[in-house]
Amino acid sequence: MSASESASAYANAPFSAAEIAAEGIKPDEYAEICRRLGRHPNRAELGMFGVMWSEHCCYKNSRPLLSQFPTTGDRILVGPGENAGVVDLGDGLHLAFKVESHNHPSAVEPFQGAATGVGGILRDIFTMGARPIAILNALRFGPLTDPNNQRLFEGVVAGISHYGNCVGVPTVGGEVYFDGAYSGNPLVNAMALGLMETEEIVKAGASGIGNPVLYVGSTTGRDGMGGASFASAELSEASLDDRPAVQVGDPFTEKSLIEACLEAFKTGAVVAAQDMGAAGITCSTAEMAAKGGVGIDLDLDKIPVRETGMVPYEYLLSESQERMLFVAAPGREQELIEIFHRWGLQAVVAGTVIDEPMVRIRFQGAIAAEVPSAALAEDTPLYRRELMEQPPAYAQAAWDWTADRLPSCDRAGLADGKSWTAILQQLLETPSIASKNWVYRQYDHQVQNNTVLMPGGADAAVVRLRPQLIPKAQEAGTYNRAVAATTDCNGRHVYLDPYEGAKGAIAEAARNLSCVGAEPIAVTDNLNFGSPENAVGYWQLANACKGLADGCRAFGTPVTGGNVSLYNETLGPDGTPQAIYPTPVVGMVGLIEDLTAICGLAFQGRGDRLYLLGIPLGQPSETVTLGGSEYLAAVQGTVAGRPPRIDDALELAVQATCRTGIRNGWIRSAHDSAEGGFAVALAESCIGGNFGAVVTVPAIAADQRWDEVLFGEGGARILVSVAPEHINAWEAHLNDHLAGRWQPLGEVTGTGTLVIQTDGGDALITAPVADLSDRWTHAIARTLEG
């Protein structure tokens, strides 16, 4: 279509420019819709295109970038494109997992926004035939000193607690960061894991011409209208008026839906299944039809409703929760309907699979919409954008920063008189570092009886794997495998250097898994970014995707799926968009073959020897830096520098050594050094086990600063403790596999005091662990209490 034809289609549209824009459709896209249909769309069709061509549903900006991710591997059974990825964990155990965002709904209605985020990701898992076994959450908020951020934080946590607890899936891990970049645009990413309960993985592609199409689950109402397009636009004051675009969750119905669906799948009568998430009936019919290369003819009059007087547009765009679409084997629909009715759920035959590749929607005897399925779900618009040639000015300015700009310091502390002990105390009270017990105490993290390491007790969650059918006596003890899971992303690092920062998220996730003894296996990613239409936004997105792709290759962890959330920006009163830190959250799963060979982060006994794996203290390295560190932000009030560069070979060697040490029973605790650097990691291991420690830092290089040594981040570092009887075997292994990249540091003590000293015996930090523990444990609750 020429530019003039395109302009003419738009100009002659039976809709006003405002009506078209309200659906999130751009003028060129409108013309393209007319070309595909050979006519103007009607109101309902316009709405269907609006949601299906949103970034949330079709990845029109990110698809070219996502294509560089590695997606195959020995253990990968299902990669991107289905409701969730599936990996093989051996012993016939197949794990489905995925992460998804619910950022914008949570910004305007934190409780329901977060609750339905959990509900949505769980449906992605059980739609595949897997029983959900764990939930993790990656959350980002503005500073907790602001009452509005407190409201969002408390609301989101309450929403997750409400939904996850009721539905009976343990919330076992995740992360929470607080930073001004997320004020007004919090991030709520939920990740779920499930263990396949059916023999076959249930997929989404419709097949079998004439097969009945079943609508099951809850009723349809006007709630959540157009949520997908809403999720793909910037937030403004006016967004608060979009509250109807936020769905309302019912975890009780979801719990029944899980049981009914798994029961239904086991009958073998379900040919395909798709949950109704974003864009509800529109998305599920279009995707099932397009994936199967067929069409679906659906009658809206058959759909069970919760309110009267709805028009096709509302049926089609409703995002009422806890609904699914099935294709059933011919003649077996009644069998399925009875299962759902027994669980008190709706189930009706609402349509048929047809040969013609169309989504045809009927309403009150007439055809309400008729669109080629591929036009909605497969052959969607694609935008290739130009990458700016030079890094943006903000990044170049940040990279000019060096530690020389910091106030001078010595062994006692900063020149302004602040001691290193006081700074450690301050860092432990920083909400991003402080204990998240206020959060995870509100989540049932033990239901299902498989949670091996509790939240806060280790660098990754560990969940025992056992078959879903309850075994007979004496077999119970024979299930010895576990899955470990983590979510990671340091948004500040990604902001300062999208490539290294994103790669760093992969490295950190793999490191966290290694710290519990798990072998990293696969990744699901949630790309939370600002607008890609902005040159800087696209530069961040493109470089971060490259970093993720390279990271996944380096660590042997293919991507099996995920989610893209763009336009995470708030429009200020003057209309200038303010983007969040680019935050590509990495959800990674790992395998533990022997449940008895795992470890947490807490010190286990006095006299255990401490070792630092990775770049030794006092050894200058470009992989260890204060650039982008929590110390720089929290203590010096500066966001600058280059974040740590990731040394793949070093990371891999350190992580493998840590896993071997755990498997051989040498290592009794392992904790990675991340935000706050070595000193914070050491303090956290002391607090976790209620032990003291004495650590001696060897002589440092002449140009090194003490804050760099204590609080610098990076270096692939893991702090481990080893029982004295194993140190010979352990050190021999270190010399063979990690020569020059490890350091003995001191030992765990029973004195209740943390001491970090120079090799001359001068104290750098001396603090009672009880005091550090009190600050770290209660910081978030105290901030909320004001």
Partner 1 sequence: MKFGIIVFPGSNCDRDMQWVAQGILGQPTRAIWHEETDVADCDVIVIPGGFSYGDYLRCGAIARFSPALRATVEAAQQGRYVIGICNGFQILTESGLLPGALIRNRDLHFICDRVALRVERTDLPWTSGYGAGQVITLPIAHGEGRYFADEDTLKRIEDNHQVVFRYCPAPGQAVDSWQNPNGSLNDIAGICSDRGNILGMMPHPERAADPAMGNTDGLALFEGLVAQALAIA
Q: Annotated active-site positions, please? A: 56, 102
| Residue number, 397 or 781, with CB nearest to partner 1 | 781
Select from 450-458, 547-555, 678-686, 718-726 the region that touches partner 1 (CB under 8 A).
Answer: 450-458
Which of 6, 450, 490, 655 is the binder for partner 1 (CB under 8 A)? 450
The dihedral formed by the CA atoms of 222, 224, 229 and 230, expressed in degrees to the nearest 10? 120
Classify the phi-psi angles of 581: left when phi > 0, otherwise alpha if psi is within -120 to 50, otherwise beta: beta
Kindly state whether residue 726 participates in binding partner 1, applying the rule CB under 8 A.
no
Site for partner 1 in 646-675 (CB under 8 A): none
- Residue 435 DSSP SS3: coil
Q: CB burial class (10 A; 0-12, 13-18, 19+) of residue 12?
A: exposed
| Residue number, 195 or 579, with CB nearest to partner 1 | 195
Which of 75, 445, 503, 659 is the binder for partner 1 (CB under 8 A)? 445
Which of 325, 452, 485, 615 is the binder for partner 1 (CB under 8 A)? 452
Select from 200-208, 304-312, 440-448, 630-638 the region that touches partner 1 (CB under 8 A).
Answer: 440-448
Q: Which residues contact 308 (CB under 8 A, 6 or more apart)?
A: none
Looking up tokens 């720089």 gives 632
Select from 470-478, 542-550, 553-561, 694-702 the region that touches partner 1 (CB under 8 A).
Answer: 470-478
Kindly state whether residue 443 participates in binding partner 1, applying the rule CB under 8 A.
yes
Q: Which residues contact 307 (CB under 8 A, 6 or more apart)?
A: 221, 222
Looking up tokens 């481990």 gives 720
Q: Contact, 625 vs 642, CB < 8 A? A: yes
Q: Contact, 675 vs 433, CB < 8 A? A: yes
Task: Tell the smallest beta-carbon distance from residue 783 to partner 1 (Å).
Answer: 16
The b/e string for 467-484 (b: 16+ C-beta within 10 A; e otherwise) is eeeeeeeeeeeebebbbb
- Residue 200 DSSP SS3: coil
Q: CB burial class (10 A; 0-12, 13-18, 19+) of residue 756?
A: buried
Task: Tell the smallest beta-carbon distance from residue 152 to partner 1 (Å).
Answer: 17
Task: Tell the smallest beta-carbon distance from residue 754 to partner 1 (Å).
Answer: 20
Which of 114, 167, 542, 566 is the binder for partner 1 (CB under 8 A)? 167
Write the CA distances from 433 to 393, 489, 629, 634, integer angstroms.
30, 14, 12, 10
Distance CA 148, CA 323 (A): 33
Which of 145, 446, 664, 735 is the binder for partner 1 (CB under 8 A)? 446
Pairing between β-strand 667-672 and β-strand 742-749 as defined by DSSP bridges: unpaired
Task: Tell the smallest beta-carbon distance from residue 777 to partner 1 (Å).
Answer: 13
| Residue number, 253 or 743, with CB nearest to partner 1 | 253
Kindly state whether residue 323 participates in binding partner 1, applying the rule CB under 8 A.
no
Q: Which residues contact 51 (CB under 8 A, 6 or more apart)?
A: 23, 24, 57, 226, 228, 229, 278, 279, 282, 283, 317
The DSSP code for 169 is: -
3-state helix/strand/coil string of 88-123: ECCCCCEEEEEEEECHHHHHHCHHHHHHHHHHHHHH
Q: Which residues contact 754 (CB under 8 A, 6 or more apart)?
A: 682, 683, 686, 692, 693, 765, 766, 767, 768, 769, 772
Q: Count the helix, strand and coil residues of the chain and give each as a percent rounded to the nearest 5.
A: 40, 25, 35
Distance CA 96, CA 368 (A): 37
Task: Tell the smallest beta-carbon distance from residue 447 to partner 1 (Å).
Answer: 6
| Residue number, 254 or 569, with CB nearest to partner 1 | 254
Distance CA 297, CA 362 (A): 8
| Residue number, 364 or 446, with CB nearest to partner 1 | 446
| Residue number, 164 or 627, with CB nearest to partner 1 | 164
Task: Tell the smallest beta-carbon distance from residue 266 to partner 1 (Å).
Answer: 15
Token digits of residue 590 = 């790992």
For partner 1 (CB under 8 A), the number of binding residues is 40
Site for partner 1 in 209-268 (CB under 8 A): 250-253, 255-256
Kindly state whether residue 441 participates in binding partner 1, applying the rule CB under 8 A.
yes
Select from 120-128, 160-168, 301-309, 562-570 the region that touches partner 1 (CB under 8 A).
Answer: 160-168
The DSSP code for 199 is: S
| Residue number, 344 or 768, with CB nearest to partner 1 | 344
Task: Tell the smallest beta-carbon distance from residue 161 to partner 1 (Å).
Answer: 5
Site for partner 1 in 739-758 (CB under 8 A): none
Kindly state whether residue 451 participates in binding partner 1, applying the rule CB under 8 A.
yes
Q: CB burial class (10 A; 0-12, 13-18, 19+) of residue 679?
A: buried
Interface characters, 48-77, with partner 1 (x: CB under 8 A): ------------------------------
Question: What kind and span of H or E run contains 736?
Answer: helix 727-737
Task: Tell the smallest beta-carbon distance from residue 722 to partner 1 (Å).
Answer: 22
| Residue number, 161 or 247, with CB nearest to partner 1 | 161
Task: Tell the smallest beta-carbon distance from residue 130 to partner 1 (Å).
Answer: 15
| Residue number, 196 or 374, with CB nearest to partner 1 | 196
Kindly state whether residue 197 participates in binding partner 1, applying the rule CB under 8 A.
no
| Residue number, 471 or 607, with CB nearest to partner 1 | 471
- Residue 133 DSSP SS3: strand
Kindly state whether residue 595 participates in binding partner 1, applying the rule CB under 8 A.
yes
Kindly state whether residue 711 participates in binding partner 1, applying the rule CB under 8 A.
no
**CA-based torsion, 648, 654, 658, 661: positive or negative:** positive
Which of 2, 408, 449, 576 is the binder for partner 1 (CB under 8 A)? 449
Q: Contact, 695 vs 756, CB < 8 A? A: yes
Site for partner 1 in 93-122 (CB under 8 A): none
Q: Contact, 46 vs 371, CB < 8 A? A: no
Which of 3, 470, 702, 739 is the binder for partner 1 (CB under 8 A)? 470
Select from 445-453, 515-523, 623-631, 673-681 the region that touches partner 1 (CB under 8 A).
Answer: 445-453
Site for partner 1 in 342-361 (CB under 8 A): 343-344
Interface characters, 471-490, with partner 1 (x: CB under 8 A): xxxxxxx-xx----------
| Residue number, 166 or 536, with CB nearest to partner 1 | 166
Task: Tell the smallest beta-carbon distance from residue 649 to partner 1 (Å).
Answer: 36
Kindly state whether residue 783 participates in binding partner 1, applying the rule CB under 8 A.
no
| Residue number, 366 or 473, with CB nearest to partner 1 | 473
Task: Tell the smallest beta-carbon distance from residue 159 to partner 1 (Å).
Answer: 12
Q: Name the residue among 255, 294, 19, 304 with its Cα closest to residue 118.
A: 255
Distance CA 211, CA 328 (A): 6
Select from 175-183, 216-224, 468-476, 734-742 the region that touches partner 1 (CB under 8 A).
Answer: 468-476
Kindly state whether residue 444 participates in binding partner 1, applying the rule CB under 8 A.
yes
Kindly state whether residue 448 participates in binding partner 1, applying the rule CB under 8 A.
yes
Task: Tell the smallest beta-carbon distance from residue 587 to partner 1 (Å).
Answer: 22
Task: Tell the smallest beta-carbon distance from residue 341 to partner 1 (Å).
Answer: 12
Write the CA distances from 317 to 116, 200, 325, 347, 769, integer angstroms.
16, 31, 15, 20, 55
Select from 166-174, 486-494, 535-543, 575-583 the region that touches partner 1 (CB under 8 A).
Answer: 166-174
| Residue number, 18 or 470, with CB nearest to partner 1 | 470
Residues that bind partner 1 (CB under 8 A): 161, 165-168, 250-253, 255-256, 343-344, 440-452, 454, 464, 466, 470-477, 479-480, 595
